[in-house]
Structures are given as structure tokens and as C-alpha cells.
Structure 1
């Protein structure tokens, strides 16, 4: 059986205070609290801007030894440059502190924009530049430019690096795309997004990455007991093949941490 990690997409949400986070808990202690309730979390601030090495170091220090972070790839790479000019941008992203998470670094999530159609040549070029070990990532990070200061360009040990791709256009519904992911060992994100984006459950790597954005209303609706039972059954099946990472992104009304804990409890039975 593979290892199963259940978490949320991010952790700083005012609506969670007083519902998931106890009254009086300071924002600085929210990650520490969440990390003792769940096994993982997505860092989504890295999607919007380059973070600092000191932030990654602090997040690692605030969490238990067995905690794992998934890190969202920069939207400058995926949405603005649309996977082009990858070398320089990837160097800056990796140098911003990702490797400072050390053994707590989990998969890197690359979320594509809804307007980016399937382009095998573009994807192949992007996949070929992605580091597959932390040692390789450190070498790429060394090529960062002046926009990253301070930079973190070392790794404390060589570890494998995993990558997951979340697609949001129907043109990816093709066997050719799935074969491309398998050749490059990239996990296709299983994304439940209220029917707005493709939901494809093909396993394309040695791990499965799931994002639950809300089954009925995107980012808003909570999951029913029946829905959580269904996802628990799916996760058990995937875990027979390898590791599974599941993140709830239905953050409104503190549904995400509630549902994450409920799914985690089901899988512990």
C-alpha cells in the first residue's frame, strides 16, 4: 500500500477562524495547528508570487517531522508565459526557497490556465526541463537571475522530485495526452470541479494527485457523507498502486478542513 496524505489547498483563510481554528489562535500559529490535524497542505502562495527562502524554512520548522508540503508552481510560468521560456523562469522559481523544505518537500503542482489547449510539443519541452531529483533542482536553481535575492540553491540530500499537472481545457481528453504524461512520469491531477473542468481519473505516474474543488459549486460546496465515502473508496484503490495526495480546495465556510478531516478519518478506519 502506498502512503496517503490528506490536506487542504492553503491554510490562511479568515472564514476558518472560529470554525476550524480555535478562537484566539493567532494567524502565525495556524499552520502549526493545521499540520497537527492533517498530513499535508498545498502551498498556494507560490503560485501568485515568488516566496522567500526564510518563509519555506519557517514553514518547515513549524510542522511535525512527518508532515509534507505540496508546492504550487508559479503562474508566471503556467499562465503568463504559458510554459514558454521555461529555463530562466524555472531557475528563479526553484531558487526562491522550494528546496529549503528539505525532506518535507512533496509534489510540485503545475496548474494550467483554462485557455491553454493541448499542445504536445509545448508540453514535451516543459516536461523535459523539470528536475527529477533535488540535486538536479539545485543545479537549475543556481542559474537564477537578479530577481531572486536572497536565493536558496542547495539541497541537504538527494531525493526524488515529483510533478503533477492540472488541466482545465477539454482538448486534453485524448489518449495521446495520457501517453505523454506516462512517458514523462507526470501525474495527471484528478480534479473534481463541479463539472467546469475535465475530470479524468487515469493513473499516469507512481502517485495520484487529487484536488477536490467542490462537487456542486466550485470552491464553495462541501462534500456529503456519500461523496466522502465515494472518494475514500477511490483513494483506497489508488493506494494499492502507490502514494496518494488529496487536497480540498472548497475553502468557503471552512468546508475544506472539515472535509479533509472527515476523509482522513474514513481512511483510518
Structure 2
């Protein structure tokens, strides 16, 4: 698939996190200090999804360290804390949002967006989609889009429809497309509705966590052939990139080793190699 001359906006592809012991000796050089892993990662991929912020907001020192250890062109996407999405269910959380947003503004131009990753909702949380969309609409009305762009991921498959897209579009929030076992694929969503609801597109390659963990719990190699799925999703990515920037993140649970999934997708899209790093590039043979 040759994207030369067919896309007008950047496609940034990275991993869901960078701190995995199983990557040592495969992606990271043996013995690389844990404090150097982000810098090494950032010399090879242009963006990363930060999972740790789902559990707690990063400290100012941590944010400053992330900023200082990465090139000027590198970008971060951070998950909103679960206190907002899973505990408070987007209700009565203005203070939590303010504290979280304040904690990440130190990333400056390297902050691409925040991901609002919702859990699967049963009837005890929201009786209907309409009930959820009312709460989501009120939450988005208060989100500081002028400071931090937002992507929204919904994990109720039947709720990925025009009603959800309409609410997101009205606020300029990006609809997250996922490759996940029980969710409609990016292609299926794109065939059903216009997936471009915000100023960028956000895709996550998540896979089947329970299924792959029956095969392996070590994330040092590809164990599932997802080439057909990647080729299908690449066509969606190419189409979206004609309209806006696209951020794509691969999880270890997608095929077994997310750095290789990223490389495979880049090859399918025939994306050029990242520019030379601003510091000497490590190799496995250093």
C-alpha cells in the first residue's frame, strides 16, 4: 500500500506504554537502565500512549522527566484517570479533571491528547445509551478543549452509532476506533458512520486479552498472525489521514509484542523511517 501523495496529514503510530521487562533483549538492548527506556523508545517511535495515568495523575517531576527525555517532535497521549471514568462515571468530577489536566500541562507541545477510556457499562451504571450520552454531553461541555484535545472510547458495542458520533462532533471530541474482540472493527465503524468527529482520529489495536493470555503471558514476540486485520485497518487509517492527523497505538495483547506490530503496520502503510534522533541512536549491539 503506497501512501505517497495520497495522505495530507501525519500518521503517528506507537505502543501502549514503553515500560515492559519482556522487551529487554528484544526491543531494548540488554542491560539498558530503566531510566533510559523512554529515550530509547522515543528515538524509534513518534508517539506513545501513557497507561500509568489511568491509575494516578503523574507528578510534576515525572512530567518534566518525560519532556526532557524525548525529542522535540515526540508526542504523548495520556489516559484520563479511572477515578473520572470508572469510579465517578463522568459525574461530579470537575475537581478531578482540573487536577489531572493541571498535572500534564507541563508536557507543552508534546501533549497530543487525552484518552477518555470508558469501561463496559451494565444497566446498574447506565440503563440506556441515552442516559449515558446525557452525562457524556454534560462532561464534554466542561472539558477544557482549549488546553487539551480529547478522544473518547466507548466499550458498549451497540453504542457505537450516529447518536454517539453526534454528541462527540458537537464538542470536537475524537471517536476512538478499536480492534478489540467484542467491538466493531474500525472498518465496520467507518462503513456505518462518519468516524471523524474531532480534529484528529484515534485508533487502538487492543486484541483479545483473555484469548492471547491462553497462548502467552510473555510479551517478547509475535504469537498471533494479525496481518489481515492490520491490512484492513491500514485502509481505514489511510482514508482518515486524508482528512486529519491519525494517532494509532498497539497493545502487547494485540499480537504478542507491540513494537513489532507497530513496525508491521508501518510497512503495510509504507511509511518512511523516523528521522534521525537528536542524540546518538542506541542499538542492540552497543
Asked if these proteins are the same fold (TM beyond 0.5), I'd say yes
Q: CA deviation at 1:222?
A: 4.3
Q: Which residue of structure 1 lines up, in the alignment, with residue 206 of structure 2?
A: 213
Task: Give 2:267's aligned residue.
Answer: 265
Look up the SS of the partner of 2:66 in the other structure.
helix
Match for residue 119 of structure 2 among 113, 123, 131:
113
What displacement does 1:175 show? 1.9
Could you tell me which of 69, 92, 109 is aligned with 2:99? 92
Q: Which runs of 5+ in 2 are unaligned?
A: 1-7, 214-222, 273-286
Q: Deviations over 1:189-227 (max 9, x none)?
A: 001112x23443422122110000126966666453333
TM-score w.r.t. length of structure 2? 0.78
Deviation readout 1:152-189 (Å, 9 max, x if unpaired): xxxxxxxxx31100111134133222111111111110
What is the Cα-based RMSD across aligned positions, in Å?
A: 2.1
TM-score, length of structure 1 as denominator length: 0.83
Q: In structure 2, how many angstroms separate the alpha carbons of the residues matched to 1:5 and 1:249? A: 15
- Larger RCO (alpha carbons 8 Å, 6+ apart): 2
105 and 197 in structure 1: CA distance in 2 versus 1, 3 angstrom threshold = same
Contact 1:219 1:249 (C-alpha < 8 Å) held by counterparts: no
Could you tell me which residue of structure 1 aligns to residue 141 of structure 2?
A: 128
Relative to 1, partners in 2 of residues 1:208 and 1:250: Cα closer, same or farther, differing over 3 Å? same
Residue segments in structure 1 that go unaligned for 5+ positions in a row: 135-160
How many equivalent residue pairs?
A: 241
- Check 1:228–1:23 CA distance in 2 against 1; reply closer, same or farther (3 A cut): same
1:12 to 6, 9, 19: 19
CA distance in 1, matches of 2:155, 2:40: 32
Q: Report the equivalent of 1:145.
A: none
Q: Does 1:30 align with 2:37?
A: yes
Q: Give the distance between the partners of 1:251 and 1:105, measured in 2 at CA.
A: 25
